[in-house]
C-alpha cells in the first residue's frame, strides 16, 4: 500500500467544531429534553431573502429549457457576476477579470496555498480561523505540531490580544512571508483601521511578502471610516490577494458562493503575474460555482437583494448588541460585535474549554472556545450573532441568571 | 515578492480546451457568419429534466422559509444523498459513509492528490483526461515536462491504443503507484471488461498501489455484462477509490455535483484508513456542495429522475450512433460510442491538430484533438455525443460532404 502524505499526518486529530459537536452530543445524551442554544459556530440562521429565492427559482426553471440551459461555465465565474462584484463590492477598485468566483473562502484558501508552494513561510494572526493553518499543513508549508504550544513549527504566529488592540506587532513578520489577515476578524471581532491596514500593507511590501486579506465579514462594518477592502489602501494591489464570501452577508453558507481577487499588479519575485497561476490552479482543480449559486449571487448584489440582505445584517448586528450588553453587564470584558458579527469575551480565571463547559452545563448555551483559534485565544469565548432573535433573547436571559452578580 | 510554486512553473502554458477555444475564435474572426458546430468538449446540451427542476425550485422556496432554511451542511454531503448514492448507484456495495459528495470529479481529483503526498508515483493511461496529470504536477508529484515527448518525468504513462484494445500492459505499472484509470474511457470511449478490471485490481494490489477509478461515464454503459463500478470486482474495496459525477448522466455540468467513494478497507502502508484522511482533507479545504445541487442530485436518483435522465442518455447515445456510422462510412476507423458518449476516430496521415484544423475549416465542425490527451492520442480526434440532435444531423451532413469518397 502507499504511504500517507507526511504532511497530513501532522494535522491535529480533531477539528474545533467537531469537538464542540462531540461535547454537545455528550451533554444532550446526559440531559435529554434540555434545549441547548448555539451562539457557537458562525452559521447563518435567517432564510434567504425573497429576491434571491426568486432568482434561483427562475434560474432552475430556465435550466429546464433549451434556451436557458447552461453546462460548464467559465471556472472563474459568470462574466456578469464578476462585473457585479467588481462594481458593487469594489466600486471599480478591481477589474472584473481579477475576480475569481468560487464555492467559498475556505475552498479558495486551499487553492491559494498552492500558489507559493511548500517553501513559502506562513504568518498568521493568533487567534485565527483554523483553515489558514490546516490547509497550509496539508500542502506541506509547515513543520511538525509543537504539542506544548499547540502551534506548528515553520509558522509565525502574530499574537493579537487586548493589550495590542488585536493588531499584531508587524516587526514580527518575517521576510518573504505569506501573511493571512482577517478584518473584521474571526474570531475576535476586531476591525483594523485605515492607518493599521496601511501599516500592514507597508510592512508586507517591505518584507517582500504577500498578504491574503480575508474580508468575509466586510459587510458587517457600520463605521464608514473603516476600510471594507484591502484595496482601499494605496499600494495594496501590488501585495494583496483578497478573499471574500456571500456566506455571511447573504446567508449563503449552504448555497456556497465566494470569490477571491488576485490583482494583475501582484507579481512573483521573477516578475510573473500571480494572477496567471491562480487562473491555472482554478481551471485545473475547480470547475466553477454552481449555476444556481451564481444566480443567487447576482440577485444578492442587485438593488432589491442589497436592500434585503442589509436588513438581515441589521438583524444580526442587533443580536450582537444584545449579547454584548448582557456580557458586559455580567462583568465580562467584551470585544467586537460592533462592526463584526462576533464577540470576544474574556472569561477570567478559566481556560476556554472550562468556560465552554460551564456555559453549556449551566446556561445550556454554546459558545466557541477561544483557544480553538490559537493559543492567544486561551481564556476567551467567541459568541456569534448568527441566531434567531428569540434564541438570542432566551440565551441572554439564561446568561443573566447564571452570571448574576451577587447582590445585584 | 514571494517565489512561484516551482511545481506550478512546470505546467504547460495552455490547457487543451483553451487552445481549442482560441482556434475557434480565430476561425470565427476570419469567417464571420459561419456557424460552427461543436462535437468537441464533453459538455451536456439537453435541459435539466422536469423532476430535477421541480426539486431545485422547491428547495429554493424552502430556503426562503425559517423551517426550510439550511446553512452549513456536512462537508461530506447530505446523509440522504450519501444513502441514495450507496443504494441506487452501488446497490449497497459501498456504505453511505464511504461516499463523499462533492462539487464534481475534477475538484475531487485535486483533493485526492493530497492524500499520498509529493512522493507518490503516478501512473496514468495515455491518452487520458488532462486533470489527473495537471493536478498532480501542481501538488509536486511529478518531475519536469519533457518537451519532446509532451510528458512529465516521474509519471508512468500506460499507452492505450488500438493494438492493445485500449487496455494497458499492466506489467508496466511500477510498484507503489497511484494509478488513474477511467472506464468508460474519456477520451477513447473504451470500456474495460470484467476480466480486464479484475486483472487491473490484481495488478495494483500486487504492486501495493492505489487505484483511482474514474466512473464518471458509467451511466452510459448499455451492455449489462460490463462493470459500472470498480466495486463489482472482488477485492477492489482494498485497493480502489472511485470518483464519479452527476455531470454527464443528469446534465449537471453547470449544476456541479459529483462524489468520491473511499472504502474503509483501503489502508495506507502503516494500516491507517485512507478514508479518515480524505475526510480530513474534505473538511479542511471544502465546505460541501451547494444545497441546490444536492437537492437536484436527490431528485436525479429518485424514480422519476432516473427514468427521465435515462431517456436523456438514450438521446446522447443515439447521437453517438449517428456520428459513428458517418465516420465509419467515410472510411475512418472508429472506437467507442457504444457504451460511452465519446468516439475516438483515427485520422490517417495527419496529426490531431492538423485534423482538427481541417475539420474546423472545411466542415465547420469542432472535435477534440486526441494528442491533447497524451502522446498515444496523436492521430486521433475525439467526437463527443453531447449535442442537440439537429446539430448532430447538420454536422454529419457536413462530414459526409467533406469526406465523400471519390466516385461514391
**Pairing label, strands A121-126, A177-182:** parallel
CATH architecture of the domain B6-47+306-402 equals: Alpha-Beta Complex (3.90)
| Residues of chain A numbered 310-349 and touching chain B (CB < 8 Å) | none
Chain segment B28-82, per-residue pLDDT in tens = 999 999 999 999 888 999 999 999 999 999 999 999 999 999 999 999 999 999 9
Residue B181, CA atoms < 13 Å, CB-side half-sphere: 34
Contact B15 A284 (CB under 8 A): yes
Contacts of B63 (CB under 8 A, 6+ apart): A47, A48, A53, A56, A254, A255, B69, B70, B291
Q: Which residue from B minimizes the CA distance to A138?
A: B114
**Pairing label, strands A380-384, A342-346:** antiparallel
| pTM for the structure as a whole | 0.96
C-alpha cell at B59: 428547495
Instruction: For residue B86, give how far its alpha carbon lies from the nearest alpha carbon of chain A (Å).
Output: 23
**Pairing label, strands B99-102, B121-126:** unpaired
Instruction: Specify burial of residue A269 (Cβ count, 10 A radius: 0-12, 13-18, 19+).
Output: exposed
B285 touches chain A (CB under 8 A): yes
Residues of chain A with C-beta less than 8 angstroms from the C-beta of B118: 5, 118, 140
Largest CA distance in chain B: 72
Residue A316, CA atoms < 13 Å, CB-side half-sphere: 32
- How large is the average pLDDT for residues B196-205? 98
Residue A274: other Cβ atoms inside 10 A: 22
What letter does residue B212 receive in the DSSP assignment?
Answer: E
Cβ density class B301-319: b for 16+ within 10 Å, e for less: bbeebbebbeebbebbbeb
pLDDT bin (cut points 50, 70, 90) of residue B19 is confident
- How large is the average pLDDT for residues A326-344? 97
Query: Is the pLDDT assigned to residue B407 strictly greater than 70?
Result: no
Contact A288 B176 (CB under 8 A): no
Residues of chain B with C-beta less than 8 angstroms from the C-beta of A134: 284
Contacts of B64 (CB under 8 A, 6+ apart): A47, A48, A49, A50, A52, A53
pLDDT at A13: 62
A169 touches chain B (CB under 8 A): no
Interface test with B, best of A102, A258, A290 (most B CBs within 10 A): A290
Query: Is the pLDDT assigned to residue B120 strictly greater than 90?
Result: no
- The helix-helix angle for A303-329 and A389-402 (nearest 10°) equals 10
Instruction: For residue A245, give how far its alpha carbon lies from the nearest alpha carbon of chain B (Å).
Output: 13
- How large is the average pLDDT for residues A238-242? 98
Chain segment A263-292, per-residue pLDDT in tens = 999 999 999 999 999 999 999 999 999 999
Contact A140 B118 (CB under 8 A): yes
pLDDT at B10: 86
Instruction: Say how far apart CA B370 and CA B347 lie, in whole Å.
Output: 10
Query: Is the pLDDT assigned to residue A405 strictly greater than 90?
Result: no
C-alpha cell at B8: 506550478
C-alpha cell at B356: 482538427
Contact A254 B73 (CB under 8 A): yes
Taking alpha carbons only, the member of A27, A43, A15 closest to residue A356 is A27
Residues of chain A with C-beta less than 8 angstroms from the C-beta of B49: 64
Instruction: Say how far apart CA A187 and CA A385 lie, in whole Å.
Output: 12
Query: Is the pLDDT assigned to residue A91 strictly greater than 80?
Result: yes
pLDDT at B408: 46
Instruction: Say how far apart CA A379 and CA A370 lie, in whole Å.
Output: 7
Residue given cell 515527448 in the structure block: B149
pLDDT at B14: 59
Contact B60 A57 (CB under 8 A): yes
The ipTM value here is 0.96
Cβ density class B381-407: b for 16+ within 10 Å, e for less: bbbbbbbeeebbebbbebbeeebeeee
Q: Which numeric CATH code is attached to A51-302?
A: 3.40.640.10
Q: Assess contact for B103 and B290: CB atoms under 8 A.
A: yes
Query: Is the pLDDT assigned to residue B13 strictly greater than 70?
Result: no
Residue B336, CA atoms < 13 Å, CB-side half-sphere: 31
Which of A18, A56, A106 is nearest residue B292 as measured by Cβ atoms? A56
pLDDT bin (cut points 50, 70, 90) of residue A14 is low
Contact A285 B208 (CB under 8 A): no
Q: Assess contact for A379 and A346: CB atoms under 8 A.
A: yes
What letter does residue B387 receive in the DSSP assignment?
Answer: S
Going from N- to C-terminal start, the domains of chain B cover: 6-47+306-402, 51-303
Residues of chain A with C-beta less than 8 angstroms from the C-beta of B116: 2-5
Residues of chain B with C-beta less than 8 angstroms from the C-beta of A297: none
B290 touches chain A (CB under 8 A): yes
Q: Which numeric CATH code is attached to A6-47+305-402?
A: 3.90.1150.10
Contact A2 B178 (CB under 8 A): yes
B199: helix, strand or coil? helix
Residue B408: other Cβ atoms inside 10 A: 9
Query: Is the pLDDT assigned to residue B402 strictly greater than 50?
Result: yes
- How large is the average pLDDT for residues A316-343? 97
Instruction: Say how far apart CA B341 and CA B312 lie, in whole Å.
Output: 12
Instruction: Specify burial of residue B24 (Cβ count, 10 A radius: 0-12, 13-18, 19+).
Output: middle
- How large is the average pLDDT for residues A394-408? 83
C-alpha cell at B343: 468516439
Q: Assess contact for A174 and A328: CB atoms under 8 A.
A: no
| Residues of chain A numbered 60-89 and touching chain B (CB < 8 Å) | 60-61, 63-66, 68-73
Express the helix, strand and coil content of chain B in percent, nearest 5 each: 45, 15, 40
CA distances from A178 to A90, A188, B4, B110 (A): 23, 21, 12, 22
Contact B281 A138 (CB under 8 A): yes
Contact A69 B269 (CB under 8 A): no
Residue B93, CA atoms < 13 Å, CB-side half-sphere: 19
As a three-state string, the secondary structure of chain A is CCCCCHHHHCCCCCCHHHHHHHHHHHHHHHCCCCCCEECCCCCCCCCCCHHHHHHHHHHHHHHCCCCCCCCCCCCCCCHHHHHHHHHHHCCCCCCHHHEEEECCHHHHHHHHHHHHCCCCEEEEEECCCHHHHHHHHHCCCCCCEECCCCEECCEEEEECCHHHCCCCCHHHCCCCEEEEEECCCCCCCCCCCHHHHHHHHHHHHHCCCEEEEECCCHHHCCCCCCCCCHHHCCCHHHCEEEEEECHHHHCCCCCCCEEEECCCCCECCCCCEHHHHHHHHHHHHCCCCCHHHHHHHHHHCCHHHHHHHHHHHHHHHHHHHHHHHHHHHCCCEEEECCCCCEEEEECCCCCHHHHHHHHHHHHCEECEEHHHHCHHHCCEEEEECCCCHHHHHHHHHHHHHHCCCCCC
How many CB pairs lie under 8 A apart between chains A and B?
293
Interface test with A, best of B5, B54, B283 (most A CBs within 10 A): B5
Chain segment A165-206, per-residue pLDDT in tens = 999 999 999 999 999 999 999 999 999 999 999 999 999 999
Chain segment A121-165, per-residue pLDDT in tens = 999 999 999 899 999 999 889 999 998 888 999 999 999 999 999
Residues of chain A with C-beta less than 8 angstroms from the C-beta of B65: 47
Which of A2, A11, A43 is nearest residue B269 as measured by Cβ atoms? A2
Which of A47, A103, A281 is nearest residue B138 as measured by Cβ atoms? A281
C-alpha cell at B355: 485534423
Residue with the bigger pLDDT between A169 and A21: it is: A169
Contact A69 B46 (CB under 8 A): yes
pLDDT bin (cut points 50, 70, 90) of residue B147 is confident
Contact A56 B53 (CB under 8 A): no
B30 touches chain A (CB under 8 A): no
Spell out the CATH class of B51-303. Answer: alpha beta
pLDDT > 90: percent of chain A: 88
Interface test with B, best of A18, A51, A63, A216 (most B CBs within 10 A): A63
- How large is the average pLDDT for residues B152-170? 96
Query: To the nearest whole number, what is the mean pLDDT of chain B?
Result: 95
Taking alpha carbons only, the member of B302, B180, B3 closest to residue A210 is B3
pLDDT at A408: 46
H-type alpha helices, B119-236: 130-138, 194-206
Residues of chain A with C-beta less than 8 angstroms from the C-beta of B254: 63, 69-73, 288, 290-291
B361 touches chain A (CB under 8 A): no
Contact B5 A73 (CB under 8 A): no
Residues of chain A with C-beta less than 8 angstroms from the C-beta of B291: 254-256
pLDDT bin (cut points 50, 70, 90) of residue A406 is low
Query: To the nearest whole number, what is the mean pLDDT of chain A?
Result: 95
A153 touches chain B (CB under 8 A): no
pLDDT > 70: percent of chain A: 98
Amino acid at each position: 500500500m502507499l504511504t500517507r502524505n507526511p504532511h497530513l499526518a501532522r494535522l491535529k486529530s480533531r477539528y474545533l467544531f467537531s469537538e464542540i459537536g462531540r461535547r454537545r452530543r455528550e451533554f444532550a445524551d446526559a440531559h435529554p429534553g434540555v434545549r441547548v442554544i448555539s451562539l457557537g459556530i458562525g452559521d447563518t440562521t435567517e432564510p434567504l431573502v425573497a429576491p434571491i429565492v426568486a432568482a434561483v427559482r427562475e434560474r432552475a426553471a430556465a435550466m429546464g429549457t433549451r434556451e436557458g440551459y447552461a453546462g460548464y461555465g467559465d471556472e472563474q465565474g459568470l462574466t456578469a457576476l464578476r462585473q457585479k462584484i467588481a462594481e458593487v463590492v469594489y466600486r471599480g477598485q478591481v477589474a472584473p477579470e481579477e475576480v475569481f468566483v468560487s464555492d467559498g473562502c475556505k475552498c479558495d484558501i486551499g487553492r491559494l496555498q498552492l500558489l507559493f508552494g511548500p517553501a513559502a513561510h506562513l504568518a498568521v494572526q493568533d487567534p485565527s480561523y483554523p483553515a489558514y493553518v490546516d490547509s497550509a499543513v496539508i500542502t506541506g508549508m509547515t513543520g511538525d505540531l509543537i504539542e506544548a504550544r499547540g502551534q506548528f513549527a515553520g509558522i509565525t504566529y502574530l499574537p493579537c490580544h487586548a493589550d495590542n488592540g488585536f493588531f499584531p506587532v508587524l516587526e514580527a513578520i518575517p521576510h518573504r512571508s505569506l501573511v493571512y489577515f482577517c478584518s473584521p476578524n474571526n474570531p475576535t471581532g476586531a476591525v483594523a483601521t485605515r492607518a493599521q491596514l496601511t501599516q500592514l500593507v507597508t510592512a508586507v511590501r517591505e518584507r517582500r511578502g504577500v498578504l491574503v486579506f480575508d474580508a468575509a465579514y466586510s459587510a458587517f462594518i457600520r463605521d464608514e471610516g473603516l476600510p471594507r477592502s484591502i484595496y482601499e489602501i494605496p499600494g495594496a494591489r501590488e501585495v494583496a490577494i483578497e478573499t471574500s464570501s456571500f456566506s455571511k452577508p447573504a446567508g449563503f453558507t449552504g448555497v456556497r458562493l465566494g470569490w477571491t481577487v488576485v490583482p494583475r499588479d501582484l507579481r512573483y519575485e521573477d516578475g510573473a503575474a500571480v494572477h496567471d497561476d491562480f487562473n491555472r490552479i482554478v481551471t485545473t482543480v475547480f470547475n466553477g460555482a454552481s449555476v444556481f449559486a451564481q444566480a443567487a449571487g447576482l440577485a444578492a448584489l442587485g438593488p432589491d437583494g442589497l436592500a434585503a440582505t442589509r436588513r438581515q445584517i441589521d438583524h444580526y448586528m442587533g443580536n450582537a448588541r444584545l449579547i454584548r450588553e448582557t456580557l458586559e453587564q455580567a462583568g465580562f470584558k467584551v470585544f467586537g460585535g460592533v462592526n463584526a458579527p462576533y464577540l470576544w469575551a474574556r472569561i477570567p480565571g478559566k481556560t476556554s474549554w472550562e468556560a465552554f463547559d460551564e456555559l453549556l452545563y449551566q446556561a445550556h448555551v454554546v459558545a466557541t472556545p477561544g483557544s480553538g483559534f490559537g493559543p492567544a485565544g486561551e481564556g476567551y469565548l467567541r459568541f456569534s450573532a448568527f441566531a434567531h432573535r428569540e434564541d438570542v433573547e432566551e440565551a441572554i436571559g439564561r446568561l443573566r441568571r447564571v452570571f448574576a452578580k451577587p447582590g445585584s
